[in-house]
A and B are shown apart, each in its own frame.
Chain A
Amino acid sequence: SQKIEQNSEALNIQEGKTATLTCNYTNYSPAYLQWYRQDPGRGPVFLLLIRENEKEKRKERLKVTFDTTLKQSLFHITASQPADSATYLCALADSNYQLIWGAGTKLIIKP
């Protein structure tokens, strides 16, 4: 069956360091992958999209990579700040372009 995995344990990072979150998938050949941020009690907010023919995408302090051979996407936040603390969700487009969602990784940036 189709599966998306994100680290279920919270990731604790010291302020100023780079945070790296992982999204692994099986039994997919997604056309694109999206990353979202979700704060407690709020809806997800879109951050970045990367397509299957792209290796890397950047937006300010954010960087996403997409390795279709490893079936993995990495999400990096450089110069992390306490305000970056949130849950980060990855979502892949299936063959009907519907999004399949990972459970998310909680990121905690310590001052």
Chain B
Amino acid sequence: DGGITQSPKYLFRKEGQNVTLSCEQNLNHDAMYWYRQDPGQGLRLIYYSQIVNDFQKGDIAEGYSVSREKKESFPLTVTSAQKNPTAFYLCASKAGRDGQPQHFGDGTRLSIL
């Protein structure tokens, strides 16, 4: 079945550590997105990519980095510069045309040790 796979489901970060969240899709979608979800707030866009080897900052990119070396993969690194990383992270993909729905993975919950 086609879909988006995020791993791990749960992740713990130590002080000063970088951690990488995995996102893989087999939907052949061009666009991919990373969101952060905090209680009582809407999803906030961290980074997005419309095409391989290109990505753009979203509203809250500080302390995060991404790469898009393959169409299927869009990993997110939460760096030590992100001082409040505890959140639920969601990856999504979308077919190229505007108005198409976004397809989401089941998220990674990141906590601080």
Interface residues of A in 19-62 (CB under 8 A from B): 31-32, 34, 41-46, 49, 51
Contact, CB under 8 Å: A99 / B107:
no
Q: Which of under 10, 10 to 19, 20 to 34, or 35 or more describes the interface residues of A? A: 20 to 34
Q: Which of under 10, 10 to 19, 20 to 34, or 35 or more describes the interface residues of B? A: 20 to 34
Q: Is there a chain B Cβ closer than 8 Å to A108's Cβ?
A: no
In the complex, which residues of chain A have a beta carbon less than 8 angstroms from the beta carbon of B102? 44, 46, 99
Q: Is there a chain B Cβ closer than 8 Å to A107's Cβ?
A: no
Contact, CB under 8 Å: A43 / B92:
yes
In the complex, which residues of chain B have a beta carbon less than 8 angstroms from the beta carbon of A4? 42
Min CB–CB distance A2 → chain B (angstroms): 11
Looking at the complex, which one of B44, B99, B104 makes contact with A45 (CB distance below 8 Å)?
Answer: B104
Q: Is there a chain A Cβ closer than 8 Å to B1's Cβ?
A: no
Contact, CB under 8 Å: A44 / B99:
no
What residue in chain A is nearest B94 (Cβ atoms)? Answer: A99
User: Quick one: CB contact mask for B61-84 with A, threshold 8 Å, 1 for yes?
Assistant: 000000000000000000000000
In the complex, which residues of chain B have a beta carbon less than 8 angstroms from the beta carbon of A41? 106-107, 109
User: Quick one: CB contact mask for B44-71 with A, threshold 8 Å, 1 for yes?
Assistant: 1100100000000010000000000000
What residue in chain B is nearest A104 (Cβ atoms)? Answer: B42
B binding-site residues for A, Cβ under 8 Å: 4, 6, 35, 40-45, 48, 58, 90, 92, 98-99, 101-107, 109
